Structure 1
Amino acid sequence: MSDFIQGKAGISLVHHDPRFLVVHKDPGLAFHTTEKENQRDPGVLQIIRQLEARGDIPAGERLFPVHRLDRITSGILLFARGRKYANQLGNAFRHNRVDKVYIALSDRRPKKKQGTVSGDMIRGRGGQWILTRAKRNPAQTRFMSVELSGIRPGMRMYVLKPRTGRTHQLRVALKSLGSPVLGDSLYGRYDMARKEDRAYLHAAAIRFDLDGKSYQYYDAPAPGNLFAHPDFVRALQSLGDLMALKI
């Protein structure tokens, strides 16, 4: 098995199907190839195509992205094979017919511990997005949280189920609660975020329908020192099936 599949390049295989591909993405890996100071860093799609060329992932029809994860976010990514399934899965995402569950950590006290965050999102300064009180076309996120003060005072684990899919939606939702994602230098304090080994936001589960059948995949939160902490592991296991969790 190659280093790529083992995750050393930031990508590992979760499931392969002739119609789609499910992979795990590490935090810090950009979706698109980036170039800076004469250094070229391959993006998610380029790495996956390299895996195909090397035979580490079974080849098939051309891969198409149907959704994305922020650079800081780890977890499940779904790709369609061929235009037919790219259209079907792309439409499912656009019409909010794909269920997703994310896990996050924050050590800031929230305004509320569970419920729904809803509001229109507008562009702010410095690459940020802002949640407003207007609800003409609101971003909607359901969430619950579990105290993890044994890890660190004020620490909580958040289970997030977005009903919509907007840029930075979950990061903005937690920021609006007063509990930015731990390690998120854009929506939290930059000096504090830099002390963490990663930003703690992870796409843990996905469920979608295709050709009349339902598919569901899970990806345990990783990497990260706090995701490996025994208190976090126990708390996550106590929740059972994340997709079936009622929030």
Structure 2
Amino acid sequence: MQTNDSMTIPVIAEHRDFFIVNKPADINVHQQELSDGLITRLKQQLQSNELWLVHRLDQITSGCLVIARNKETTSQLGRQFQQRKVTKFYLALCDKRPKKRQGLIKGDMKKIRSGKWALSRSFENPAITQFYDMGLGNGLRLQLLKPYTGQTHQLRVALNSLGSTILGDDFYGGTSADRTYLHAWQIAFELNGERHQFSCLPQSGEHFLAPEFINKTEEIQPVMTEFRWPEITFNDPEKAP
């Protein structure tokens, strides 16, 4: 097995303006004191210094990450993320049934203790997530998540607020596992008048590699078109459906 320091970053798509990589779990996007960050490794792997982060994933999260190849693309896509025009879908595994099977999870994110965040009932700058809960067998549940905002620990806190903490998320009291089971599954955006959509499956984690999980992702694959996602009005998110 490769160590994190020697791991090759999987590149799932190459465009003249960007790369899409499947970020491994437990690799930080930024340089750390004792290990190289993802961008540093990619520059070495792709033999290019012209790479820029467009957005971020938590260290524990794997999945689709957009890497720009020029400053203009960095700026264009950065604005789309700020304006909430980028569509993202995540997959998470839990071992506890949530308080509800589907719907919106919304509220302001408040810092509490030991660096943790919690969802409050206020709506000054709310985090908003749509989710669907599905049984996976063997006591596990699959959560399909669509974040409308991008706040720190948003998805981890959202599921924790429903009593369904992500498997392996020790920080928020989840059941211990071989990894934190949160994966950025799909991403879609427009660039220079062209629509781009990408998808990648996790490459680590006993339960993510199990046939039950892979079969379920194939069942829900038309997620962009067949799931009825609500339109969110950010002028008054408290009244969002």
Fold match (TM-score > 0.5): yes
1:168 aligns with 2:153: yes
Q: Which of 190, 193, 198 in structure 1 is aligned with 2:179?
A: 198
Secondary structure of the residue aligned to 1:47 is helix
Deviation, structure 1 residue 8: 5.6
8 Å Cα contact 1:205-1:217 kept in structure 2 = yes
Distance 1:10 1:72 in 2: 17
Paired position in structure 1 for 2:32: 34
8 Å Cα contact 2:50-2:69 kept in structure 1 = yes
8 Å Cα contact 1:103-1:221 kept in structure 2 = no
Deviation, structure 1 residue 64: 1.4
Q: Deviations over 1:43-67 (max 9, x none)?
A: 11100111122xxxxx4x7211111
Paired position in structure 2 for 1:237: 218
Distance 2:124 2:20 in 1: 33
Distance 2:153 2:68 in 1: 23
Distance 2:173 2:226 in 1: 28
1:130 aligns with 2:118: yes
Q: Which of 73, 80, 104 in structure 1 is aligned with 2:92?
A: 104
Distance 2:102 2:25 in 1: 26
Deviation, structure 1 residue 94: 0.6
234-243 or 200-209, which moves further after superposition? 234-243
Paired position in structure 2 for 1:21: 19
Deviation, structure 1 residue 79: 1.3
Q: Which of 10, 30, 47 in structure 1 is aligned with 2:41?
A: 47
Q: Which of 168, 185, 201 in structure 2 is aligned with 1:220?
A: 201
Deviation, structure 1 residue 242: 2.6
Q: Which residue identity is paired with 1:89?
A: L
Paired position in structure 1 for 2:101: 113
Provide closer, same or farther for how the CA distance between residues 85 and 218 of structure 1 changes in structure 2, counting only shifts above 3 A: same
Distance 1:10 1:173 in 2: 32
Q: Which of 178, 181, 190 in structure 1 is aligned with 2:166?
A: 181
Q: Which residue identity is paired with 2:54?
A: V
Provide runs of 4+ in structure 1 moved above 4 Å. none
TM-score of the two chains, using structure 1 as the length reference = 0.87
Secondary structure of the residue aligned to 1:205 is strand
Distance 1:34 1:103 in 2: 27
Distance 1:169 1:200 in 2: 15
1:208 aligns with 2:167: no
Q: Which residue identity is paired with 2:214?
A: V
120-129 or 71-80, which moves further after superposition? 120-129
Distance 1:184 1:143 in 2: 18
Deviation, structure 1 residue 10: 5.3
Deviation, structure 1 residue 244: 2.4
Q: Which residue identity is paired with 2:152?
A: T
% identity of equivalent residues: 41
Paired position in structure 1 for 2:69: 81
Secondary structure of the residue aligned to 1:203 is strand
Unaligned runs of 5+ residues in structure 2 are 230-241
8 Å Cα contact 1:67-1:90 kept in structure 2 = yes
Equivalences, count? 226
Write the mapping of 1:134-149 to structure 2, written as runs, cut at 5 A. Answer: 134-148=122-136
Q: Deviations over 1:100-134 (max 9, x none)?
A: 00000000121111101010112121121111100
Paired position in structure 1 for 2:7: 9
Q: Which residue identity is paired with 1:93?
A: F
TM-score of the two chains, using structure 2 as the length reference = 0.89
Q: Deviations over 1:48-105 (max 9, x none)?
A: 111122xxxxx4x721111101011000110112221111000000110000000000
